[in-house]
Structure 1
Amino acid sequence: MKTIKIFVKLFLPALALLLISNVGYSESKALMLKPFKNLSEQSQECAACHKKEHPSLYNQWGRSKHFGANVGCYECHAAEKTDPDAIQHEGHTIAVIVSPKDCANCHKAEVDEFTKSHHAKGGEIIGSLDNMLAEVVQGALTLNGESPAAVNGCWQCHGSEVKVLENGDLDPTTWPNTGIGRINPDGSRGACTACHQRHEFSMVQARRPEACGKCHLGPDHPQKEIYEESKHGINFYANVDRMNLDSSKWVVGEDYDEAPTCATCHMSATDTLPITHDVGDRISWTLRPAISEKIDAKALKQGKKVKSWEDRRKDMEAVCQACHSSSMVESFYMQFDSLVELYNNKFAKPGKLMMDTLKAQGLMTDIAFDEKIEWTWFYLWHHEGRRARHGAAMMAPDYVQWHGLYEVAERFYMELIPEYNEYIEKAEHNGKTKEAETLKKVLAGILESPEHQWFSGKEPAEVKAARKKAQAEFQKRYANESK
C-alpha cells in the first residue's frame, strides 16, 4: 500500500505534465481547461475569464513551465495600490507590465545578471547620434509629441521609458513596448519578454537565433545574417532536430554538439561555466563604436573595477573549446584581433582624426547630419565598419570582405577623402589659410603611412614590382586554365 501511495503522489503528477507537453494541440487544450486545484484563487478567477476572452494567451500559458509550477496570471501581474502603473481590474490591483522587478521575485539571480548588462542600458538612447536621426532627421509629424520613427523603430528594440497617463493608462506613445532596455514605471530596466516571448516563455524559442534576430540584423549590425552565413549557422539549420533545444540544462558538448546558437556563446552553460543573463560577460572587444576598444577600456578610464577583457575572453574560449581544440581557438582570435586592428588603424582612427580636425578648425556646423561628409563618415563606421568587425567575430567571410572592408575602403578613398579636400579648397577660397594648412598636414600624415601609400602613389618600387609580377602570373595561370 505504501508503494502505491508513493507512486500516486510522485509519479502521476510528473506523468500528467509529460502528457501535457507531448499530446496534440487539441488534447492539451482540453486538459488545460480542467479546474486548477493548486492555482491561487485569484489566478483561477483570471484563467476562467481569459480562457474565453483570450484563448491564445491562455493556451500559451498552459504550455509553459509557469503553468506546471502553478504560477498564474495574478502571481505575475499583482501590484500594490501605490505602484505608479497599478490599475483596478475585476476587483484586483494589477499592473499590465510585468517588469524585471516582478520577475525577480522568483528569478533574482537572472535579473541581477541582466541588470548589470549592456542590454539593460539599451533604453538610454535619448540624445545619441542614432536617436538624433529618428527624432529629428527622420521625424516630423509626431505621435502625441513623439517621433513615430523612434516609437515604431528605435524604441521597439532599445526600449522606451514607459509613461503612465493621469488616468492610469499606459501612454500609447511608449506602450506596447518590449525593447530590451525598457525603462519601466517601477524604475526597473529591461523587458524579460524581449527574449522570452510571453506567455509561454519557451526555452526552445529563446535558444534559437531568431530570438535575437528581431534587433540584431540589418545594415549596421547584421549578426543574424552573419550567423546564417557562418559554418555555425549552416550546421544549426541542417541539424536543428539534433540540437536538443528543450533540454533542461542544455550544456554544449553534453546535450548537443552540432552547432552553437547566439545563446550558446553569450549566455548558456558549459561544463565549466554557469548560465549568465549578462550577454556581454564573454565579449572581449566592443565592436559598436567608430573605433573598437577592449570591452573594459571605458570603465577603466573612469576608475571602475570591472571584469577584465582577458577574463571575458577566457570564458568565451571555454565555450569554443567544448567543440574545438585550444590551438584552433587561439588561432581564430589572432585572426579576429588582426582584422579589428586593421580596421581601427587604417580607416577608423584616420577617419575620426579628419572629422575631429574639421570641427576643431570651425569648418563644420554644430548641427548633426546637415553636411554630406557626416553621412559619409557615419556609413563608414556605423554600417560598413561594423559589418566587417562582426563578420570577423562570427566567421562570415563575405561580411568581412564585400559587405565590410571593401565598402569601408571605397567609402574612405572615394568619398571621405575627396569631401575632406573640398573643405580644404573652401577654406583657401575664403581666406582661411591657417585652417587649410592644418587640414592638409593631417591628410598628408595619413596618406604617407605605409598602408595608404598605394593611394598616394608613394609605394616603394619593389613593392609595386612584386604586385605587378603576381598579377601577371595570375593572368597567365587563369588564361591557361580557361583553355
Structure 2
Amino acid sequence: MRRSVVLLLLIPWMVVPLPAQPTKAVPQGEQCLACHSVSTPGVVEQWKSSAHAKKSVDCYSCHQAAAGDPATFEHYGNQIAVIVTPHYCARCHKEEAAQFAKSHHARAAQFIGSLDNMLGEIVEGGPAAVNGCRQCHGSEVKYLGNGKFDADTWPNSGIGRVNPDGSKGTCAACHGRHAFSSAQARQPENCGKCHMGPDHPQIEIYNESKHGIQFRANIAMMNLGSRNWVVGKDYSAAPTCATCHMSATSNQKITHDVGDRISFTLRPVVSFKLENWEARRAAMQDVCSNCHATGWIENFYKQYEGTVELYNEKFAKPAKAIMDKLYAGNKLTKTPFDEKLEWVYYELWHHEGRRARMGTAMMGPDYTQWHGFYEVAKKFYTEFVPEAEHVLPGVTAETMKSDFHKWKAGLTKEELEKQIEFYKKRYMQ
C-alpha cells in the first residue's frame, strides 16, 4: 500500500510540466505584466510558457511602436501597437517575415473580387463573409483610433489579413497568441482551421491518408517541440503538413513560403504546373526521400500527374469550353450565379474537382474516388451536360463525341475492350 501511495505522489510531477522560470522583463514590460496579470491573466500565463518569455521577449518588446506608426495609441506613457503585424515580428524574425511576405498565404485576402467573395458578400450577405471567408483569408483591417477598430474588419486572424501598416498576414494565424508555439504550428489541426470543407478538404484527406494515420498512432514520437525539427533526424514517425510544405530536411532549410514545394496548382478550373515547377518538385521530393525510395516517389508522381490530366482533359477543359461558348454567345448573363448552370459548373470544379485532385495529391483514396471523381462524373453527366443543352441545344455535341465520353452512346463488346485499352495506354495503368 505504501508503495502505491508513493507512486501516486510521484506521477503528477512526472507528467505535468514545471512552470516557466521567472522572466526578467524591461521596465515597460514589467508594467504590462503587472496590470495584465489581473485584467487578462490568460494572456500572461500563455506568454509565461513561451519561448519568448524564456528569452525575455516581453509584451513591450512586441507591442512597442514608433511615433507615427499606424494603429497605435498612447498607453500609460508608451506608444503601443494594438496589432502586432509581420512588420513588428520582422524585428527579430527578418528572414521568416520575408519568406512569408512572398507566399500565397500573405496574398490570401486577394480573394476579394473572386467568385468565392461574390458568394459571401452578395449572394449570402456581408456578415457571412465577415465571420466566414475573411476569418481564413483575412480582412482589410480598419483602425478607428484610440485602440478601437471597425467591427466588420476586427477581430481577424486571417492569414492574408491586410494590416493598417500595409503589411500582409499575421504570424498568429499559425503561431497562436500568446504562446507562439512552434509545436502548435506543426500540428495538422492548425492548418485544418482553414484547409477543410467541401472545396479544400486537406485536413480530412490527411486524416484518411497513411500519413495521418501514422501521425495519430505515433504522436508521442513526433518531437514537436524540437527547436530545429529536421525530418529524418529529430523525428521520423510521420509527416505533417508542415513537414512537407515548410519544415527543414538535411538538405534544405525551413521555409515560411508554403508554395515553395508545390509544382501543380490544384485550385483553378484547369490545373497547370507553376513557374519553376521542376525546382519546386525536387524540393518536395527531397522531403519524400526521407521515408520513400526513388522508384516509389517517381511512380507516385506518375500516378498523380495521370489523375490530374484525366480531370483536366475529360471534365475541366470541355466544361470550360462549353461555358466560354455560352458566355460568348450571350446565352448566359454576365451576372455570376443568377442561372442554374453557373452553380452546377462552379461546384463541378470548385468542389468536386478540387477534392479529386487534392485527394490524389495527398494519397486519400476515398477523396480521390467517391468524394472526388464519382461526384465529378455524376455532376458532369447528369447535371452539367443536360443543363448546358437546355441553355443551347447542341452545345455539348462535339464534347460527347470524344473517346472520353463515347460510352454514353452505348458500347459494343469490342468498343468496351477498346475503351479499357485506351485508359490503360493513356494513364499507364
TM-score class, shorter = over 0.9
Q: Secondary structure at the match of 1:333?
A: helix
Q: Secondary structure at the match of 1:220?
A: coil
Residue of structure 1 in register with 2:7 after alignment: none
Matched, 1:407 2:375: yes
CA distance in 2, matches of 1:263, 1:126: 27
Amino acid aligned to 1:463: E
Count of residues in correspondence between the two structures: 408
Shift of 1:166: 5.3
Shift of 1:466: 7.5
Matched, 1:446 2:414: no
Equivalent residues in 2 for 1:395-474, closer than 5 Å: 395-425=363-393, 440=394, 442-457=395-410, 459=411, 461-464=413-416
Matched, 1:41 2:9: no
CA distance in 1, matches of 2:63, 2:267: 36
Matched, 1:97 2:49: no
Q: 2:341 aligns with which of 373, 384, 389?
A: 373
Q: Secondary structure at the match of 1:421?
A: helix
Equivalent residues in 2 for 1:20-31, closer than 5 Å: 24=16, 28=19
Matched, 1:346 2:304: no
CA distance in 2, matches of 1:110, 1:167: 30
Matched, 1:109 2:88: no
Q: 2:39 aligns with which of 53, 64, 71?
A: 53
Matched, 1:216 2:202: no
Kindly provide the CA deviation profile for residues 250-286 of structure 1, in whole angstroms up to 9, marking residues without a partner as x: 1111111111000000000001010000000000000
| Overall identity of the aligned pairs, in % | 56
Residue of structure 1 in register with 2:180 after alignment: 201
Residue of structure 2 in register with 1:277 after alignment: 256
Gaps of 5+ in 1: 1-20, 140-146, 297-307, 426-439, 469-483
CA distance in 1, matches of 2:236, 2:251: 16
Residue of structure 2 in register with 1:151 after alignment: 130
Residue of structure 1 in register with 2:277 after alignment: 309
Q: Secondary structure at the match of 1:384?
A: helix
Kindly provide the CA deviation profile for residues 115-148 of structure 1, in whole angstroms up to 9, marking residues without a partner as x: 1110010011221100000010001xxxxxxx10
CA distance in 1, matches of 2:165, 2:229: 33
CA distance in 2, matches of 1:311, 1:389: 21
CA distance in 2, matches of 1:94, 1:277: 27
Greater CA radius of gyration, 1 or 2? 1
Shift of 1:343: 0.2
Shift of 1:467: 8.3
Residue of structure 1 in register with 2:113 after alignment: 127
> 2:288–2:297: 8 Å Cα contact kept in structure 1?
yes
What value does the CA root-mean-square deviation take over the aligned residues?
Answer: 1.7
Residue of structure 2 in register with 1:230 after alignment: 209
Q: 2:353 aligns with which of 368, 385, 388?
A: 385
Equivalent residues in 2 for 1:299-338, closer than 5 Å: 308-338=276-306
Q: 1:243 aligns with which of 206, 215, 222?
A: 222
CA distance in 2, matches of 1:279, 1:358: 37
Residue of structure 2 in register with 1:252 after alignment: 231
Q: Secondary structure at the match of 2:356?
A: helix
Change (3 A) 1:22 1:133: farther
CA distance in 2, matches of 1:90, 1:293: 54
Q: Secondary structure at the match of 1:165?
A: strand
Q: Secondary structure at the match of 2:79?
A: strand
CA distance in 1, matches of 2:147, 2:256: 32
Amino acid aligned to 1:353: A
Residue of structure 1 in register with 2:153 after alignment: 174
> 2:73–2:146: 8 Å Cα contact kept in structure 1?
no
**Farther-moved stretch of structure 1 (341-350 vs 80-89):** 80-89
Amino acid aligned to 1:148: P
Amino acid aligned to 1:454: W
CA distance in 1, matches of 2:75, 2:282: 50
CA distance in 1, matches of 2:287, 2:419: 41
Shift of 1:42: 0.6
Shift of 1:465: 6.0
CA distance in 2, matches of 1:261, 1:242: 13
Kindly provide the CA deviation profile for residues 269-313 of structure 1, in whole angstroms up to 9, marking residues without a partner as x: 0010100000000000000101001122xxxxxxxxxxx000000
CA distance in 2, matches of 1:467, 1:390: 26
Residue of structure 2 in register with 1:138 after alignment: 124
> 2:73–2:145: 8 Å Cα contact kept in structure 1?
no
Shift of 1:22: 8.6
Kindly provide the CA deviation profile for residues 355-414 of structure 1, in whole angstroms up to 9, marking residues without a partner as x: 111000011111110000000001100000000000000000000000000000000000
Kindly provide the CA deviation profile for residues 399-456 of structure 1, in whole angstroms up to 9, marking residues without a partner as x: 000000000000000000000110124xxxxxxxxxxxxxx2x522211111111013
**Farther-moved stretch of structure 1 (340-349 vs 243-252):** 243-252
CA distance in 2, matches of 1:103, 1:326: 39
CA distance in 1, matches of 2:211, 2:417: 41
Matched, 1:293 2:275: no
Residue of structure 2 in register with 1:16 after alignment: none
Amino acid aligned to 2:364: A
CA distance in 1, matches of 2:274, 2:400: 30
Amino acid aligned to 1:445: E
TM-score (norm 1): 0.82
Shift of 1:61: 0.3
Kindly provide the CA deviation profile for residues 185-211 of structure 1, in whole angstroms up to 9, marking residues without a partner as x: 000001000000010011111101011
Gaps of 5+ in 2: 1-12, 421-429
Amino acid aligned to 2:168: R
Shift of 1:80: 2.1
Shift of 1:168: 5.3
